[in-house]
């Protein structure tokens, strides 16, 4: 459930609770609207933590599959937030990285530079747990590349996939905005 739908439901409920006259019935459409908004809320298909060390990919079974060694607290928080059942569904990993598939999209988590060339060739979405800049980045043909610098500057990433469209990426920095206490990119 999104925060917006929760706010609309709460306002509708408060409206019905506070009014003593027939005006209280005006809260019913607000509650209904909030419930409709909650039903239409789309969970992210891929989550990347702010440190870039934890990646979750929603599999065809509807559950998140986790990369490598996962911080238990973050996994539990993300599971609760997304209405997923507790437990760990690991990705297929080796010493160089992890792979997962969601629909027709190949998601690769690259843990070392040693496997980067192969990862770039087979990934539709590549999350690198190290910096990928300059010639390395230009040589990588993957449509979406998120490296450790991206996560440090923009915070956690949520990636939404829709058939026939490019991936839609939302970051914490976009949600947070430019506030005096926010970390800013160098100009």
Q: Is the pLDDT of residue 61 over 90?
A: no
- Mind listing the pLDDT tens digit for each residue in 128-146? 999 998 888 888 888 899 9
Question: Angle formed by the axes of helices 3-18 and 27-39, to 10°?
Answer: 160
Three-state DSSP state, 83: coil
Lowest-pLDDT range, 3-17, 46-60, 82-96, 111-125? 82-96
For residues 120 and 108, give the distance between their C-alpha atoms in angstroms, rounded to a whole number.
Answer: 9
What stretch of H or E contains 186?
none
Q: What is the mean pLDDT of the chain?
A: 83
């Amino acid at each position: 459930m999104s925060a917006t739908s929760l706010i609309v439901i709460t306002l509708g409920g408060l409206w019905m609770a506070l009014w003593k006259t027939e005006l209280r019935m005006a809260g019913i459409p607000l509650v209904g609207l909030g419930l409709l908004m909650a039903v239409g809320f789309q969970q992210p298909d891929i989550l990347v933590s702010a440190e870039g060390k934890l990646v979750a990919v929603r599999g065809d079974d509807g559950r998140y599959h986790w990369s490598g060694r996962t911080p238990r607290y973050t996994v539990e928080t993300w599971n609760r937030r997304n209405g997923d059942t507790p437990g760990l569904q690991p990705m297929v990993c080796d010493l160089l990285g992890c792979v997962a598939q969601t629909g027709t999209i190949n998601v690769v988590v690259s843990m070392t530079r040693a496997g980067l060339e192969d990862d770039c060739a087979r990934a539709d979405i590549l999350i690198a747990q190290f910096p990928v800049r300059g010639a390395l980045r230009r040589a990588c043909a993957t449509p979406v590349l998120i490296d450790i610098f991206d996560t440090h500057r923009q915070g956690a990433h949520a990636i939404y996939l829709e058939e026939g469209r490019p991936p839609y990426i939302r970051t914490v920095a976009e949600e947070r905005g430019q506030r005096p206490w926010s970390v800013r990119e160098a100009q």
